[in-house]
Amino acid sequence: MRLRALILEVALAYKPPLKLEETLKWSEPAYLCKSGSTIRLGYSKSNPDQYYMYFNCKTQLIECIREVFGDEFQYEGKRALVFNADQTLNQAAVKQCIDLALTYHSRKHLTLLGM
């Protein structure tokens, strides 16, 4: 729910707000908008104390996030940020990651590093 709230907050901060579709993909909450790449939230039964923010592994989002934030996050390959249930979120950093994803297609002619 914390990640969902941040996704909605980022989308609503745009003027006009990003048109965000909230749906289910693979029985998990997913967030889509035309200007961006899908964000999906999930967890693993084998790691019940962790939850994940998944990005399309065919994008450069995780590579960019790793380059910008380094050890700020735990990663699962090229597809997810991993969070622990008891962890305090760096909300500013997570919101930047969400923003990169929600605007991925509108920025693809630019580098994802803010240029």
* CATH number of this structure's domain 2-107, picked from the four choices 3.40.1160.10, 3.40.50.300, 3.90.1150.200, 3.40.710.10: 3.90.1150.200
Beta-bridge partners for 32: 21
Domain coordinates in residue numbering, the chain:
2-107
Q: Which residue has the higher pLDDT, 61 or 112?
A: 61
Say yes or no to pLDDT of 110 above 60.
Answer: no
Q: Evaluate whether 76 touches 67 at the Cβ level (below 8 Å).
A: no
Host H or E run for residue 62: helix 61-69
Q: Name the least confident of 6-10, 21-25, 84-88, 104-108.
A: 104-108
Task: Name the strands in the sheet holding 47-55, side by side, starting at the edge strand that comes first in the sequence.
Answer: 21-25, 28-32, 39-44, 47-55, 80-84, 74-76
**pLDDT confidence of 108, banded at 50, 70, 90?**
low
pLDDT in tens, 19-43: 999 999 999 999 999 889 999 999 9
| Secondary structure (3-state) at 26 | coil
Place of tokens 């950093």: 93
Beta-bridge partners for 23: 30
